[in-house]
Structure 1
C-alpha cells in the first residue's frame, strides 16, 4: 500500500498508529530528559564546585534544543520524520555517554557538552507533536497533537522518580556518583530509537507530502499559505512559553524566601522541599494533564480562541502572583493556572501554525517555532532572575503580563474564517 493510494479510511488507520507510536516515543524520550533536568544542575554544581554554575546545565539543555530544532526540521522535510527523530535519539544517546564520562573524569566543559547533546535530542521530542499533525484530518489536528503532548507527562514524571533506584543500579555497575539513573535513560532512548525505526511506517511526513502533491495535481491548486497567521502563531507559542518558563523558574526561589521568614513564615527545610515539590508537581499537571481537552476545544472552537483562552488563564495566574504571592495557596494557584494557560496556548498555537502553513513550508516553520521557543525561554529565565531580585515576585508577574497583553493585542492578525 503506497501512501499516494491511501483512502480516507486507510489514512485514518495509519494516523492512529502514528499517534500511538509517537506517544510511546515521547514516554521513552521523556525519561532521559526528565533525568537530565533533575540531575544536570546537581552534577554541574558538584563537578564545578560552585552553585552559581549549576544553572548552566539547564541553559545547555535549552540551547541544544534550540540549535537543533531547525536542522532536524529541514532533515525531516527531505528524508522524513522517522530519520529525523532517530537522529535526535542518537544525539541523546551520545550525550548520555558523554555526561557519564564527564562525571567520571570530573571535567565540567565536557559535562555541559553532553547535556547540550541531550538537549539536541529533546529537539526531536518537540518535533514529535508536529509529526502527529502530518496525516491528521483537519478536524482532529489539535486533538492528535495534544495526545502526543500529553504523553510527555509520563516520561517527565517517570524520569525523576527513577533517580533513587538508578543510584542503586549505578553503584552495582560501578558508575560515577549521581549518574545511575542514566542507565534507565540510555535503555529508554535505545527503545525509542528502535520504536521509530521499526514502527513509524509509513513515514507520516513523506506520506503527507505525496498525498498533497497528488491532491494538487488532481484539483489543480495548492493549499493556501497564510504567512501572517503563521508568524502570529509562532509569536504566540514563544511568548506563552516565556511567560511560563520565567515565572516557573523563579517560583522555587520565591517559595524559599517565603519559608525563611521574608513574609513571616516559619518552616523547616523539609517543609520547604515539600512545598516546592507539591507546587511544581501541580504546575506540571496543569501543563500536560488537560492538553487533550485543549486540543479538542481547538478543533471545535477554533485555534485562535483557545490561544486566547490560554492568555485568560495566564492572566489569572499572574493576578495571583501579583496580589497573593505571600501565601502558599496563592503561589500554588498561580502555578496551576500558569500550566493550564501554557497548555492551551501551545497546543492551539502549534495546531494553528500547521493549519496556516502550506505543506511545503510547514516543517521549516515548525523548526523555527521550536528554536525560537527554546531560545526565548532561556533568555526569559535569565531575565526573570534579575526582575525577581530587583522587583520581587509581584514585579515578575507584572513584567510577564506584558507578553500576555501583546499576544491578545496582536490576535487580529490571526483572525480569518479558517483560523
Structure 2
C-alpha cells in the first residue's frame, strides 16, 4: 500500500500544481481557472462510488487498481487535449483524471481494515504517509517535465501530466500484483470466523444448561437468533463525513487559487511548485502524528483542532503580503496540517463505526460527499478570487473553518434503559 501511494502521490500532484494554470492559459483569464480542480474532484466523486462498490464486491485490490488505471487514462487524455488545443477533451479528461484522486484517498481505508481499534488511526495514517514522497516530488518536477514536454512538441504545462500517467499506471500495477491477501476480504473472513465461533460457543452453553435442567436439548431450539441489522448512518458517522467534507472544501478552495495568486505577483513557476510541495508535504507527512492524536485523545478533539488550524491558515493567507513567499508558504503548510487532522479523524470514525459487510460501500459514499465538497471549493474559489481577490478568499475560507468546529458536537450522555 505504501509503495502504491508513493507512486500515486506523484500523479496527484500534477493536477494540484498546474491544473489552474493550464486552464488560465487556455481560457484567457482567472475567472474559471478553478474549473479543472472542480472537474477532477467532481470526477473523483463518481469514481469514489465505483471504487467503493467494486471494493465491496471483490475486494480492495481490484477496486484500487482499476481506479488508478483510470487516473492514468485521464492524464493521457489531458496531454492529448493540450496537443490538440481542445477544451472539450481537456475538461472530459480532467473528469477521468479524478479517478486517481479518489483512489488515492480511498487507499487509506485499506490501511485500517486489519488494524486493532486502539491503533486504527495510526494504521491508516501510514498509508497516507506513503503519498508524501511522490506528492512532494511531483510539484518540483514541473520544470523538468515541462522541458521533456517541449522536447516532444507539447506545451510545458502538459509535462506534469506525462508524469501522472506513468505514476498512476505504476500504482495500478503495484496494487494489482502485490496487495495480497486482500485486506478487506481478510477482515471480512476474520469477522465471520469470530461470529461463527461466538455462535458455536453460545449454542454449546445453551445446550449444556438445558441438559442440566433435565430438558431435552434440540439443536434447532438453541441456535442463536440473528442480530437485527445495525443502523449505519449514525450521528457519529455523519459527523465524521461532515468534518472531512468541510476540511476538503476549505483546503481545495485555498490551494487551487494560490498558484494563480502567486503568478499574478511575479513568482516563478518553480517557486509556485516549491510552495505547493510544502503544502502537500504538510497534508501527508504529519499523518502519523494525526493518527497518534486520534488514538490517544479521540476523534472529536482532533476534529475540533482541524477546524482551528484551518482558521489560522485562511487568516494568514489573507494577511500575508503577496510578495512574501515565506508567509504564503506558512499559510499553505497550516492548510495541509488542518486537512490531515480532519481527514484522519473522520476516516477513523468511518472505519471504526461501520461493519465490514457494508464498509467499503459506505466509505465510497462518504468520499462522494468529500469529492463534491472539494469540487465546489475549487469552482467557487475562482469566482470569489475574481470578485474580491485572494485576501477576500482567505477571510471567507477562514470563516467557513468555524463550521468544522460547530459540526463536532459534544457527545451526549445516554440515559440507562
Superposition TM-score, scaled by structure 1 size: 0.80
Q: Which moved more, 1:174-183 or 1:53-62?
A: 174-183
Bigger Rg, which one = 2
Q: Which runs of 5+ in 1 are unaligned?
A: 1-21, 260-268
Counterpart in 2 of 1:363?
Answer: 360
8 Å CA contact 2:71–2:99 kept in 1: the answer is: yes
Counterpart in 1 of 2:380?
Answer: 383
Residues paired across the two proteins, number: 384
Counterpart in 2 of 1:136?
Answer: 115
Question: CA separation of 1:385/1:285 partners in 2, compared to 1, >3 Å: closer, same or farther?
Answer: same
Structure 2 residue 254 is matched with structure 1 residue 247:
yes
2:47 to 56, 63, 68: 68
Partner Cα distance (1:80, 1:391) in 2: 47
Question: CA separation of 1:168/1:349 partners in 2, compared to 1, >3 Å: closer, same or farther?
Answer: same
Superposition TM-score, scaled by structure 2 size: 0.80
SS at match of 1:360: coil
Structure 2 residue 229 is matched with structure 1 residue 231:
no
Shift of 1:48: 5.4
Counterpart in 2 of 1:339?
Answer: 336
Residue deviations 1:365-404, cap 9 Å, x none? Answer: 2112211112112212333344445555554444334443
8 Å CA contact 2:253–2:377 kept in 1: the answer is: yes
Partner Cα distance (1:186, 1:389) in 2: 32
8 Å CA contact 1:129–1:145 kept in 2: the answer is: yes
8 Å CA contact 2:38–2:376 kept in 1: the answer is: no
Counterpart in 2 of 1:105?
Answer: 84
SS at match of 1:194: helix
Residue deviations 1:228-280, cap 9 Å, x none? Answer: 100100001111111222233344555567x5xxxxxxxxx25x767755544
SS at match of 1:205: helix
Partner Cα distance (2:104, 2:162) in 1: 19
Shift of 1:322: 5.8
Question: CA separation of 1:228/1:147 partners in 2, compared to 1, >3 Å: closer, same or farther?
Answer: same
Counterpart in 1 of 2:209?
Answer: none
Q: Which moved more, 1:189-198 or 1:174-183?
A: 174-183
Partner Cα distance (1:23, 1:73) in 2: 20
Question: CA separation of 1:330/1:74 partners in 2, compared to 1, >3 Å: closer, same or farther?
Answer: same
Question: CA separation of 1:107/1:401 partners in 2, compared to 1, >3 Å: closer, same or farther?
Answer: closer
CA RMSD of aligned residues (A): 3.1
Question: CA separation of 1:120/1:345 partners in 2, compared to 1, >3 Å: closer, same or farther?
Answer: same
8 Å CA contact 1:225–1:358 kept in 2: the answer is: no
2:169 to 190, 198, 210: 190
Residue deviations 1:351-376, cap 9 Å, x none? Answer: 12211222223212211221111211
Structure 2 residue 98 is matched with structure 1 residue 125:
no
Partner Cα distance (1:371, 1:213) in 2: 28
Q: Which runs of 5+ in 2 are unaligned?
A: 200-225
Counterpart in 2 of 1:16?
Answer: none
Residue deviations 1:42-97, cap 9 Å, x none? Answer: 54455556665544322221121111111210110001111011111221232233
Trace 1:265-280 onto structure 2 (pairs within 5 A). Answer: 269-270=266-267, 276=272, 279-280=275-276
Shift of 1:26: 1.1
1:283 to 279, 282, 293: 279
Partner Cα distance (1:176, 1:317) in 2: 36
Structure 2 residue 154 is matched with structure 1 residue 176:
yes
1:33 to 12, 18, 25: 12
Partner Cα distance (1:415, 1:79) in 2: 38
Trace 1:385-400 onto structure 2 (pairs within 5 A). Answer: 385-390=382-387, 395-400=392-397
Residue deviations 1:111-151, cap 9 Å, x none? Answer: 22222211123211111011111111112211111111122
Higher relative contact order (CA 8 A, sep 6+): 2
Residue deviations 1:314-363, cap 9 Å, x none? Answer: 23334435666678465444333222111111111111221122222321
